[in-house]
Structure 1
Amino acid sequence: MSMTAVPAASFPATLLALWRGADFIQKTAIIIGLALVILAVMAPIIAPFDPNSQSLIARLRPPLGFERAKGGYVLGTDELGRDVLSRSLHGLRLTLMLAALGATLGLMLGGVLGLIAGIAGGRTEAVIMAAVDTQIAVPFTLVALFLLAIFGSSLQVIVLVLGLAGWEQYARIVRGEVRRLMKMPFIEAARAAGAGPLRIARYHLLPNIVSPLVVQFTLSLSNIVLLESTLSFLGLGVQPPTATLGAMVGIGRDYMPTAPWIVAAPALMILLITFAVQILGDWLRDGADVRLRAR
C-alpha cells in the first residue's frame, strides 16, 4: 500500500494541531513571520513617506524621542533625508520577494534534476551529480559576483543568480530520497501495476519527499536573504535608489558612529527573517511529512 493515501483535508487540521502543540519559541516565530509578511505586503499602504523622497534639510535626523528628531520620521532619516521606516518596509518587501523567487527557482531546478537523476540512473545520473559536485566545489559568492559583473544587476539577473544558489542541495536530497524510495515495496507494486515513471513520481515519490524539501526550502530561504544582503552590501545587488535590507545596511555602515539608526532597523529585520524561517522550517516539516500525518 502506498504511504501517500492521506486525505487532503487532514493537512489544515494537522497544522492546527501543530499550532496547539507548538512551544513558545515556535509560536513566537510564527507570529513574527506572519507580521513580517503582512508588513511587506502592506508596505505601499502603511509607509508614511515615499521611500526615495529626499530632504537634505532633514538628513541624519534620529528617531522620535531623541534630540533633533523631526516629526513624522519615527525611525529617523538617512544620509539623504529619506525616511528609514518607509525604506525599511519597502526593503523588506523586495528582499522577501527576491528570496521567495530565488528559493522557488532553486527548488524547481534542483528538484527536477534530482528526480531525473534518481529515476533514470546510469549516465544521466552521473552527469547531473557531476554538475552538483562542481557547484559544491566552487564558492557560490564568487559565481554570483562573476555573473553579476557580466550580466549586470537587473532584477531578472539577481533572481536568476539567487535561484542558482543552493539548487545542488535540492538535487542531492531529492536524488537520495528517490533512490531510497525506489527500493520500497509500494513502488515495486506500482510498477507491477503498470504505472509509468511520471505517475510514480507524481503520486508516490513527490508526496514522500515533501518533508525534507520543506526543511531545505526554509534553510535556502534564509541563506538567500543573507546572500542578497551580502551582494547589496557589496554594491552588486539591487541598485540605488531602490531599497533592500542589505543595501540599507551596506550604505549605513559608513554612518554607524554618528547615525546607527540607519542600520538598526534593516539589520533587525534581517535577523527576524532568518530566525522565523529557521524555526518555521521544523514546524512545517511536521505538517508536510506524510508519514507523520498517516499515523
Structure 2
Amino acid sequence: MTAFPMIARNTALGAFWASGDRIQRLALVLGAALALAALAAPLIAGFDPTAQSLISRLRPPLGFEGARPGHWLGTDELGRDLLSRCLYGLRLTLSLALMGATLGLMLGGLLGVLAGVAGKRIDAVIMTAVDTQIAIPFTLVALFMLSVFGSSLTVMVLVLGLAGWEQYARILRGEVMRLMQMPFIEAARAAGASPLRIALTHVLPNVVSPVVVQFTLSLSNIILLESTLSFLGLGVQPPTATLGAMVGVGRDYMPNAPWIVLAPALLILAVTFCVQILGDWLRDRADVRLRAR
C-alpha cells in the first residue's frame, strides 16, 4: 500500500490495489499509462504520423549515431516519426479492439440470455452456432471476410466483433439457466414480478461480474487478432498507422533498422500483458471460491 495514494486506501480502488501483487500493480500502472498516452496522442506526438521526409529516413533513436533531434524513437523507411506513429497506432489499435469487444459482448450477451430463457429449440440453434464458431479457427474466417468485403474500418470492427462472442454466449447462458432455478427468482415470480423486472433486478446484477471479467480477458485476444490481420496487410490500410501494420512493414528492415519493428512490437506486448494480467486479477477478485482460499 505504500506506493498507492493515501486517499484511495479506504476506497474500492484502494482495496483492489491492496489485493494485487507487484506484477498486477505494475500491469495496472503500465496499462493506465498506455491508455493515457493513446488518448493524448495528438498532444504528445511531435510530428504528423503520415508526414514523410526521405532525407530523414531510417534514422535511429536518440542516443545512437545518426539520430535526428526530436525523433525520440527514430524514423521509419519513409522518414516518418516513429514515436508519433506508435502513439497514433496504439490509439487506433485500442479503439478497434474496444469497439470489437463491445460488439462481441452485445451479440454474445443477447444470444446467451436468449438461449437461457427460450425453449430447447432456440437454445439448440444458438449453441450449434457457438460450437461451430469454436470449431473453426476464427483467423481463417477473418481473413476470408476481409478478402471478400475489404478492410475498411467498418468491416474491421464487424470482424473483430465476431471474435469471441461465443464465450459471452456460453457464460451468460449458463448463468441465466442457473439463476432462473434459484429460490429468490421463484419468490419474485410468486410476488407477481414481471419477466422484465426479474431480468433487470435479479438476473442482470448477478451476471455482470463474470461478463466484465470475460470482456477483459478477451480484449487481449482481439488486440492480437487485429495486430495479426494488420501484419498480414488485411487490416487498416496505409498510410494510417496501426501497430501490427508497422511491424509487418518494418520486418523487411530488421537487419539495418530493427527499431522500426521493436517499438510497435513492444507496445503490442505491453498492452496484451497488461490486459491479460488485469483480466486474471479481476477474475480472482470476482470469484468467491478463489477469494475464500
Normalising by structure 2, report the TM-score. Answer: 0.92
> Would you say the 8 A contact 1:18–1:283 is kept in 2?
no
**Per the alignment, in what secondary structure is the counterpart of residue 209 of structure 1?**
helix
Q: How does 1:78-227 map to 2 (within 5 A)?
A: 78-227=76-225
> Would you say the 8 A contact 2:76–2:260 is kept in 1?
yes
Alignment partner of 2:227 out of 226, 229, 233: 229
Aligned partners of 2:191, 2:123: CA distance in 1, in Å? 26
Aligned partners of 2:194, 2:273: CA distance in 1, in Å? 42
Aligned partners of 2:207, 2:287: CA distance in 1, in Å? 8
What value does the CA root-mean-square deviation take over the aligned residues? 1.8
Q: Deviations over 1:119-139 (max 9, x none)?
A: 113111111111111111221
Q: CA 1:21 to 1:136, structure 2 compared with 1: closer, same or farther past 3 Å?
A: closer
* Structure 1 partner of 2:54: 56
Q: Residue 40 in 1 paired to residue 64 in 2?
A: no
Q: CA deviation at 1:288?
A: 5.8
* Structure 2 partner of 1:6: none
* Structure 2 partner of 1:279: 277
Q: CA 1:126 to 1:196, structure 2 compared with 1: closer, same or farther past 3 Å?
A: farther
Q: Residue 21 in 1 paired to residue 15 in 2?
A: no
**Per the alignment, in what secondary structure is the counterpart of residue 105 of structure 1?**
helix
* Structure 1 partner of 2:6: none
* Structure 2 partner of 1:256: 254
Aligned partners of 2:189, 2:222: CA distance in 1, in Å? 39
> Would you say the 8 A contact 1:64–1:70 is kept in 2?
yes
Q: Please, which moves more after superposition, 69-78 or 210-219?
A: 210-219
Q: CA deviation at 1:287?
A: 5.9
> Would you say the 8 A contact 2:217–2:279 is kept in 1?
yes
* Structure 1 partner of 2:265: 267
Q: Deviations over 1:232-263 (max 9, x none)?
A: 00000000000001111111111111111001
Aligned partners of 1:270, 1:141: CA distance in 2, in Å? 18
* Structure 2 partner of 1:240: 238
* Structure 2 partner of 1:73: 71
Counterpart code for 1:151: F
Aligned partners of 1:187, 1:45: CA distance in 2, in Å? 52
Aligned partners of 2:283, 2:13: CA distance in 1, in Å? 10
Aligned partners of 1:283, 1:191: CA distance in 2, in Å? 36
Number of residue-to-residue matches in the alignment: 282
Aligned partners of 1:14, 1:69: CA distance in 2, in Å? 46
Counterpart code for 2:208: V
Query: Which blocks of at least 5 consecutive residues in structure 1 are unaligned?
Result: 1-11
Aligned partners of 2:290, 2:248: CA distance in 1, in Å? 44
> Would you say the 8 A contact 1:62–1:75 is kept in 2?
yes
Q: Deviations over 1:192-220 (max 9, x none)?
A: 12223222221111211122212211121
**Identity percentage of aligned residues:** 76
Q: Deviations over 1:71-123 (max 9, x none)?
A: 11110010000011000000000000000000000001001110110011311
* Structure 2 partner of 1:9: none
Counterpart code for 2:162: L
Counterpart code for 2:25: K
> Would you say the 8 A contact 2:49–2:81 is kept in 1?
yes
